[in-house]
Amino acid sequence: MENSKPITKRYYHIIALVMLVFFVISFITNILNSIIVDVKDSFELSLTSTGFLPFTFFIAYGIMSIPAGFLSEKYSEKSLLTISFLVMGLASLGFALFPSYGVFSVTLFTLGCCMAVLQVIINPMLRIAGGEEHFAFNSVLAQLVFGAASFLSPYLYKYLVNTESTGNDKIANVLRGMVPDNLPWASLYIVFAIIAFILVVYVFMNKYPKFTKNEDEKAGDTSSYFDLLKNKWTILYFLGIFCYVGAEQGVGNWISQFLNQYHGLDPQTTGADTVSYFWAMLTVGCLLGLLLLKFFDSRKILIAATAITIIALIFSLTGSKEIALVGFPMIGFFISVMYSVIFSLALNSVKEHHGSLSGILCTGIAGGAVIPFIVGGLGELMTLKMGMFFLIIPLGFILSIGFWAKPLVNNKTISLKKDK
């Protein structure tokens, strides 16, 4: 009888937990795209002050990503998960009970810090719990769950704020009754608090296997970060991630406000739907991107996707209402492949310290704080349309990556030509 490779034990309850964490991260993170107009109107904010809200959330990623790596080396996954969800629940509940612009800003920053910790923990957990041989499949599944949550969260928002369709719904009425009448969207954070507290119990009750990190998953020591920061490729790819997340959130955060301001569309219905379609198309685009990477060089895909994204953005900002309603979701479709391509090019361009490099690249998620804030500021000084045209600059930098990237290892492709 032939010897076969031993089958790795799979921990399905941990896989389910990781998928839940991905869902919650996406659900809470991207709800801000849908509620941004209501927040602006509720607190009577300027475009600059409105842009400061995603800034407070995403800057937390920039601050916490590297410290989260060190925390994950010192404390168990169970402890960090429990504390993160507990803090998320308390922060969400705190805003729902004491809703104000200042409290909301602190709440978003706190949630962002917790998300950064969760992001560091869950990928090694998924690799061990699902088995290394299934990691690629499970990672794609996790991205689908992430995208599904982004697609669904606007519908929860519509359910809670649209009194015409849910006026007799007991659950919606109870949740709305827990927040001021003029802030029905704040009831979302009651839901987030409930979800977080349920996950605290679920995390605490579970048993966990021993999670041994691969070299590319370890945080690394301080010297490894300094070595990497001396490498120009580290800085360039950090800027790539910074520009991608900034452009993604710069579009997502301002879709609803743009449609309301320039086309008179209701942010609680059409605006929320368009945001939902943006994230749905981003998810579909990820799947197509995975297929294309099997046949084409990742740099060529990045160039094509970015060029089309820039064209779609220009048409969305200058075209009719009908063009905007199609154009913004299409931006999500074409922008979808950028993050994974930039990240993989970065890892394939540096010989060592991949764990530390990942931490530096994840710090680039702070682009989701800075660039939407710039868009809001420019919108205040000029117009929101002109502010959104600023997004062409980070997209232009991403386009340039496809030309100057020189990875040590290229992505493996399948040739369509038959060997003679």
Domains of the chain as residue ranges with CATH: 12-404 (1.20.1250.20)
SS3 255: helix
Q: What is the DSSP string of 294-350?
A: TTS-HHHHHHHHHHHHHHHHHHHHHS-HHHHHHHHHHHHHHHTTHHHHHHHHHHTT-
Calculate the dihedral angle through the C-alpha atoms of 54, 60, 65, 66, rounding to the nearest 10 degrees.
Answer: 140
Contacts for 2 with CB less than 8 Å, ≥ 6 apart: none
pLDDT at 312 over 90: yes
Q: How confident is the model at residue 411 (pLDDT cuts 50, 70, 90)?
A: low
- For residues 326-349, average pLDDT: 86
Radius of gyration of the chain (CA): 21
Given this model, what pLDDT does residue 4 score? 43
Both tokens assigned to 41: 């109107």
* Model pLDDT for residues 365-404, shown as the tens digit of each residue: 889 889 998 999 999 899 999 999 999 999 999 999 999 9
DSSP structural state of residue 409: S
Q: How confident is the model at residue 5 (pLDDT cuts 50, 70, 90)?
A: very low
pLDDT at 2 over 50: no
Q: How confident is the model at residue 9 (pLDDT cuts 50, 70, 90)?
A: low
- Rounded CA-CA distance 42/32 in Å is 14
- Rounded CA-CA distance 118/98 in Å is 26
Query: Cα 393 to chain center, whole Å?
Result: 20
DSSP element (H, E) containing 207: none
Q: How many CA atoms lie within 13 A of 393 on its CB side?
A: 14
Given this model, what pLDDT does residue 107 score? 94
pLDDT at 39 over 60: yes
- Rounded CA-CA distance 108/96 in Å is 12
* Other beta carbons less than 10 A from residue 198's beta carbon: 13
* Other beta carbons less than 10 A from residue 261's beta carbon: 17
* Other beta carbons less than 10 A from residue 236's beta carbon: 18
* Model pLDDT for residues 116-132, shown as the tens digit of each residue: 888 878 877 777 777 76
pLDDT at 133 over 70: no
* Rounded (to 5) percent helix, strand, coil in the chain: 80, 0, 20
- pLDDT > 70 in the chain, percent: 88
Contacts for 361 with CB less than 8 Å, ≥ 6 apart: 237, 238, 241, 343, 346
Task: Report the chain's mean pLDDT, rounded to a whole number.
Answer: 84
